[in-house]
Structure 1
């Protein structure tokens, strides 16, 4: 046997032992024997560097230093999940699904592990890149650190796709967390607060050798990519196991919500026997074809939902109620609490939402209140212990004036929130609007963060977001913690933002109720800010999914001279105020006024590309067939009930080719 063959044989043997121990939880040799084999391999590789292989088991020990974690755009966005807390929530979700999907729907139930979300890309069976969730659109490259996690395969087994992403959670098991804290206490250091935050923090350590010392595990549960040749979520879990991933065995198919609820009820009590933190159950539509038909909202997949276990509750005293002003002028009452431990963190404040909520619960300063984390993220007050209420207690009188500028607050009858109407003279509103304008999903101005915006406003350098484009390096250099290089980056970032496409500029303007999706629809329909400004409420409501509330908000925004002046200045500075010529060239009105329903599997274009073609050519995509539907575009495996309904309503059914012929 040659030296190279000897090295490869030991590598393969160690991979098998590693898989048996860390993935299958079934060790085949002792730790001593494993370490001896690993040292033998390290010695051989050291003597023969010409046989280096990045997937060698010796690369698990770390040692790579990462000073700055590179930001990486996800090839496939990482969405959040909508949450549910009751049987009724799940039944409502099922009702929505059945409106869009023909025939029976099968579900998968999986435990929701509480860790740090990760997306790992594999190329030709080798670990290529590992990226944190970040904001869902982009995250941090933590590949060097993830490679040290022994349950993450560096080289896959069996037959796998050429390229794919696999998503999951980096977790710290309870046993490892306890041992880690015991070691810290013995060294006189503060113990870590909870496994989840410790796992997340570990991923961002600069020295991968330190990461390798921590007993992190990676639990995988979702495959993403093109041409994976997989039909269901359960099949994807089984395939991932075959390829060498640690995929939790606790996953079950369910034929209806009753079976889903049985799974939830069982694990709500038995989850405490598991070695990891869990905070709920994720329910997914099992069929990937159904998932594709259901698609996504702006924030979450329609085909999945998280059922959150009942949140932990604690009692503490409410010391004082204060009020915060948001960028839209909305006033949020805040409970300042006696600090208390809740779900692994210290809680000092909780949102009280609005005046109605305070009145409903009769919340008063000095009360002992029960606090829980809504969705185990945002603390909220759920009840008051009136038996401990002080005798001199008085009902809360809601604020009548803005806490920042003292302007009298207003409240519309149709809304729960109070507002400060002084939108041009109230500092938090000014700062908040500019912070929204520069945010990542809007203008994404590199070198300019929220704190710097506050410094610029407070220094009197800017009073609205159009003022940003008049700033110079000399203007910003005197700011706190601003050096020559950072000042240059800030000004260059502002200049670069002039190339941000119109739909994101429209979102950045901060028009109330105009989020990312609405901004995109308005931009595609009206094509320019000039046309949008002239649109009436009726014309706006004619756009797909634009209701009266959004339409009135848009017209109100452009009815204000100050807003029109700011928009005009942005245009003068070169900010994009119409869709690009390239995008305009790809858009027509040949399908204007036509409503389409898309169903089945397509081959020449994907379902999403087909929907985009409809919208780019002036048509509307609907989720269900009705008397208002003009055409159904039917691919393979179209649901029989949809076909029957189309025939009953005499809606023309088009093939993929029929539809493509309608386009210019």
Structure 2
């Protein structure tokens, strides 16, 4: 990256000065809300954007960069609600980078400043915890004072509250012989675990109070309680990541040559340190750590918003020194923001394929985690109350990677009194049937008109056409809606009886006929490519594996994960229909609730009619794996009698194709790993099944050996129990 140098001759015009003043004022205000009031009104990503714009202005016009600029300050002045505490050494912040290019440029600048490249173990990488920075002072091993960072020089005295945090030791003692200094100033982050964050917000809403917007502000608010007992009840965590002043008294002096060694010593004293840090040599290894943490971003007990890279050798840190607000020997790489604020325009409800009525948020469209989001589920009426959101609120929206967007909570400080509460409807918005709970204690309210409610039938058609079920390519939401609007289906049982004549009455599956077609006797409209493809897809779907049909039936709790196990245990629809709840519950991964759902499904007359209609239309609902076996009758049974689980991607196979290949060779393709599993095939993107296989000691087949495993059986490949 070529560093752009400021033009010393550039002079800020009136517009630039005015923008600088506005930005500086906004940043100061938002810092006060964030650090002092614990009630931010914008997301971290939006704040970072404001600060970067201010930095860019000052880079272009250096005359605007004055000592009182927010870019030169650390935090804000402490609140007057707590006594001021002067830190023994200034408590700085960290500079941020937001891309690989910027991160590598920082490494290059650091090496240039040193005039040499650090040797082996040059850098230590660790997590950037999204918490509240605190300063702890120990004298002769005893905790005597605790303070927030404040403006970096003066913080707030929160000693009484910190003493109630179990994770922070009251006294330091060495187990491995490291001398405990007579004076030791510790820096670290107080945080609230995600589990505790959910618990606290539920309690706040139950008490009629506004919930916290995120764990960081919840941690800050918990630490700043006037009553230390409240702080104790919040069960805050703490991680030490540095130190300030230390004493040089003989026999107690700390000899810390490296940052990584310091963490070992602090842990020996009883201080919590990060269990996820790594010493690396190169920029490539730094980036590998950054990417690894990004992939696991939501696996940690606390929130993180980035990764921190530090020069590991203390002598080099001393040579690099500090700017007015941050060390030159450390940098924070911040991940793309996953939280933004937007306006909650309305709360509406959706009726799903099992009749469940789900509220969802309709929001002012906003870009988050790389995509524009305008809707997010709210799960049920109880969840709306738990989150404390009102229609018209400014809300915090989160979209973690590819996860479904979630409304975290309201920004209460921005309410103006026009907001209103959501009221759950009493009747189905699609068919008008009175809504009801299926049984006492249910969280979800449902539409009981399961057979003919247009919303439920449309969703069931969309579901059965999915790749996990019958893979009917053109039967999406619009196609399903077109069939229902034309009155062609009473329920999904009529699907395989559709003809070209039936589809001729729907605009979605037809097109205007051409002159030649009309001359040949065709009507004004003929089947479109979509119409022809639907009929072809329906014909092909008649011989899908029985496990696919099980998913297509929309039996509650039956999905692609457990359908293969159920289909293998009951290889025909008749066998499944006649099975007792005890027989069903005996299948691996089924249990009583799923067994009861299967029995209830077959006990409903109109649902049983679906089976009869499909069979009459030529659908093959069993024996398990029959279509594959019929296609390759001479397939060698190299895996006969084995139970095999496939997780991740296999070279040359789709997920379904891999399972079908296993079944064709005589094995049972299970959906879950247990002690009864004979082999687990692990490919790229494998999830918890691979870890469970290792925990249970089940033999593992690598993806690159999958084809040989199919062709030659277990004896043809190595399969260690990893």
Query: Could you tell me the TM-score, scaled by structure 2's length?
Result: 0.42
Query: Could you tell me the TM-score, scaled by structure 1's length?
Result: 0.45
In terms of Rg, which structure is larger?
A: 2
